[in-house]
Structure 1
Amino acid sequence: MRSIDHLVMPFDALGAARQWFMSLGFLVAPEAAHPFGTGNACVFLADGCYIEPLAIVDPAAYDAAKDEGHLFIERDAAMRDLPERPAISGLAFRSSDALADREQLLEEEAGEEGLVEFGRTMRLPDGRTVELSFRLAFAAIHAADAPSFFYCEARHTAKPDRSALTTHPNGATGIAGVTVEARDPQMFRDYLASVADSEVQGNDDGADTVPLDGGRLDVVAGGPSPLAIDSLTVTVADLAFAKKFWQGQGIAYSEAGDGVAIACPNGRGAIRFIEERS
């Protein structure tokens, strides 16, 4: 059973991403660049998960990586070329051994041969830097507009202290789950079971749930794409407090089940907020 590591959200510019997340009451980490032309400004949460707003910061390096068949960049570029971009383009699961994860997926006919390995420097709020390295393995992808499911192995021995970045003014504490839309959920049952290394459970309302370690993947029928990430669910310590915060910021939200939803500005999708349950 997998656990969520992070969600990828493509933006045209990191400045716009930073401004939007800060208006929602999130602390945003300093910007960081990847060697293949993208950069991020992450939102780290106390449960160890994070949200990764992603933008192109070095077009020459990005184009070179795409020409070389860099799997992460190929998928990102395909998403950016869509006339209607999903707000959430990828879901990364935490991995302790990306090579083993790749082999398991290939055995289940749900994986890609390609790997991505890279290192980068992370700047901490106090100005210090730490060197990070990662290995990524990828599940197969079904269409250009389908989400990229991949596995992120942190290979560095340094354990950066991100605690100063996880106390958010809106009270956000973690990621509880992700909702996926599928025109025909039955078509993707085996695939999602392999991707999550879990069992797909049917619900009385016709939706499916895929249990994760510390969260869940909900699969609902609908949407314009064969398969797409519709929303991610963030827990907050006090939902009433968060609502007052957003009202003060002029942020529009809609009631959504046991929480509220805020539409994303970078494409089709939303972030749901629910109150953390003890």
Structure 2
Amino acid sequence: MRTDFAKKIKKTRVIDHLVLPVADISIAISRYEKIGFTVSPIEKYPLGIKSCCVFFSDNTFLEFLAIDHRKTYEMHAYQGNTFIRNDQAYRFRCGEKGVSHMVIKSNDASQDDIIYRKAGISGGPNVHFERVFTSSFFSQKKELEKVEFFLSFAQDIRSPDSSFFSCEIKSERIHNPFVLKSHKNHILGLKEIVLSESNPADFQYFFQTYLGQREMKADSFGLSFHADNGVVRILTPIGLKRLYGLEITRRSRGLRFELAVLISEKLEKTKEWFNKEKIHYDEYNNHLCINALPGQGFPLIIKKVNNYDSK
């Protein structure tokens, strides 16, 4: 049944961003600014949370999420808000580090929810909320604008430490100024999201449905799926070591986010910045690897855009 459903998928989805839970948002800001990123101002949500972001010129981003008002946060969790419950569960099980959610763009979150339910991968009730954006999100504009968000969730219950959703934004004017997408380290965008699992093939149908991509590459290291603007890989621990030089120890089954691959416009300039700021990195297979330190959340792999090979 799931195979038949995967064959009906026609539109490959677009990667939007990753959500990184943090205990102290100021530590995350300090760490990412030192690495050479421009970090957006902190914005608050009506769900008892606050966040800031690193936006890229390819319209992907990293979002650092902290608890802003504990009572409000716990009230939304108690009332069944899927996003807050997922965040709360991740912090309890994994701590306030790493990646809790992967997000794809959506033009119709309600339709996504129908697709997920029919495929048996619904992650819970949709979430709808509004928030006001400050002038930092508008070029030369001082007005505030209320923006609506609609989230639809997908989940494989065998993987409690990784959550997925699609995000529909209703606003004609919201955008992120170029100044927030320009970085001193010359990094342009998010091109790969890498997860680990001892038997990646067990999650083939989940990703075919979530990414709208029936085609995949399978080898002894794992599975690779092409989204519209990047790649999602599910690798074994051996695959992670072979491709990225990352060693992990898995004590249990299930999907876990392990790292992101970013592309640099000028890798030598990126290295110059890291050397100047004394950012330790390793060189492996023609890429740079920055291991996770407090505030960073997870390892970052940087490749030169001209040498990037997603096959």
Q: How does 1:253-272 map to 2 (within 5 A)?
A: 253-264=281-292, 265-266=294-295, 269-272=298-301
Q: Which one of the candidate residues 273, 282, 296 is aligned to 1:245?
A: 273
TM-fit CA distance, 1:214:
1.2
Partner in structure 1 of residue 89 of structure 2:
78
TM-fit CA distance, 1:189:
1.0
Matches of 1:83 and 1:110, distance apart in 2: 22
Partner in structure 2 of residue 28 of structure 1:
39
Percent identity over the alignment?
23
- One-letter code of the match for 2:135? L
Partner in structure 1 of residue 154 of structure 2:
139
* Matched-pair contact (CA < 8 Å) for 2:22–2:96: no
Q: Which one of the candidate residues 11, 17, 20 is aligned to 1:6?
A: 17
Calculate the aligned-residue CA RMSD, in Å.
2.0
Partner in structure 1 of residue 185 of structure 2:
170
Matches of 1:8 and 1:173, distance apart in 2: 18
Matches of 1:33 and 1:98, distance apart in 2: 22
Give TM-score, length-normalised by structure 2: 0.84
TM-fit CA distance, 1:148:
1.0
Structure whose residues are more often strand by fraction: 1
Give TM-score, length-normalised by structure 1: 0.93
From the superposition, tell whether residues 6 and 117 of structure 1 become closer, same or farther in structure 2 (CA, over 3 Å).
same
1:228 counterpart = 2:256: yes
- CA-to-partner distance for each residue in 1:135-166, whole Å, 9 max, x for gaps? 00000242574211100001122233421211
- One-letter code of the match for 2:68? V
* Matched-pair contact (CA < 8 Å) for 1:236–1:273: yes
Structure 1: runs of 5 or more not aligned: none
Partner in structure 2 of residue 48 of structure 1:
59
From the superposition, tell whether residues 15 and 127 of structure 1 become closer, same or farther in structure 2 (CA, over 3 Å).
farther
Q: Which has the larger radius of gyration?
A: 2
Matches of 2:165 and 2:172, distance apart in 1: 21
- One-letter code of the match for 2:200? P
* Matched-pair contact (CA < 8 Å) for 2:201–2:222: no
- CA-to-partner distance for each residue in 1:82-133, whole Å, 9 max, x for gaps? 2556511111000010001111111111123401111112223367333222
TM-fit CA distance, 1:205:
4.2
Partner in structure 1 of residue 116 of structure 2:
105
- One-letter code of the match for 1:249? E
* Matched-pair contact (CA < 8 Å) for 1:5–1:94: yes
Q: Does the residue aligned with 2:117 lie in a helix, a strand or coil?
A: helix
Structure whose residues are more often helix by fraction: 2
* Matched-pair contact (CA < 8 Å) for 1:71–1:114: yes
- One-letter code of the match for 1:192? F
Higher mean C-alpha deviation, range 30-39 or range 246-255: 246-255
1:153 counterpart = 2:181: no
Matched positions, count: 278
- CA-to-partner distance for each residue in 1:213-268, whole Å, 9 max, x for gaps? 01110110135242101111111111111111011111111224331121233586
